[in-house]
Structure 1
Amino acid sequence: MNLKGSQAEQQAAEYLQQQGLTIITRNWACRAGEIDLIAKDGAQLVFVEVRMRRASRFGGAAASITAAKQAKLLATAQYYLQSIKSTPACRFDAICIDDQAITWLKNCISA
């Protein structure tokens, strides 16, 4: 991961913590892919994709979460759930950073 990516993930983690979430792990990886942040929001497990764009000429950060990326996130989350041997209530969120604006998209990917 490049420096900008790690800075975006740090910014996203801090933002989510300010909103009351607890960060469980960062950059959880398996053969299916990687999940940027895994957090707890009350009893709910939250898989978070962090996307950053400096300019929106290609649709901005949210537009960069393609169907293929969503499928990869779902597969990776399944591996994570198998690794913890639990199936808590889950959701998929995205933190989109466009220039300096943060947008939190809750439950933006359906399993």
Structure 2
Amino acid sequence: MDARKKRGIEAEQAACKHLEQAGLKCIARNYHCRRGEIDLIMLDRKQLVFVEVRYRSNPHFGSGAESVTRAKQQKLIATASHYLQQQPHHGASRFDVVSLSPHQNGFEINWIQDAFQA
């Protein structure tokens, strides 16, 4: 495994741990279908949360959150729709973005709740 992929996996694990410490429960990781992939699917009380994790090693190209373009949002929405067809959820849902950047002791984490609407 190359260093970039390894760092991405570490960032995703750090994001999941951060959200769990905030009280969310992880119910799926790396859910994928032909429409796309969702990094984390969490439960915040009764609300289903679809989480896009973004890692940026260099802030000169913008934050991880800024890299979630409208096209990426549309893929996430389509993938979430597919998930909901497979695993019906009778409650609200939202899309969060967790942006990570390097920090001396691991990662600096920026969690944006309800980052965009379906």
TM-score (norm. length: structure 2)? 0.90
Pairs aligned (count): 111
- What are the equivalent positions in structure 2 for 1:1-111 lying under 5 Å apart? 2-99=5-102, 100-111=107-118
Query: Secondary structure at 1:60's aligned position in 2?
Result: coil
CA distance in 2, matches of 1:84, 1:67: 25
Instruction: Check the 8 A contact 1:81/1:87 in 2, yes or no.
Output: no
Structure 1 residue 5: Cα displacement: 1.3
Unaligned runs of 5+ in 2: none
Bigger-Rg structure (1/2): 2
Equivalent-residue separation in structure 2 for 1:19 and 1:37 (angstroms): 15
Moved runs in structure 1, 4+ residues, more than 2 A? Answer: 85-88
The gaps in structure 1 that reach 5 residues or longer are none
- Following TM superposition, by how much is the alpha carbon of 1:21 offset from its aligned partner in structure 2, in angstroms? 0.3
Alpha-carbon distance, 1:87 to partner: 4.1
Any idea what SS the aligned residue of 1:79 has? helix
Post-superposition offset of 1:88: 2.3
Scaled by the length of structure 1, what TM-score is found?
0.95
**Secondary structure of 2:100's aligned partner:** strand
Deviation at 1:4, TM superposition (A): 1.3
Letter in 2 for 1:42: R
CA RMSD of aligned residues (A): 1.2
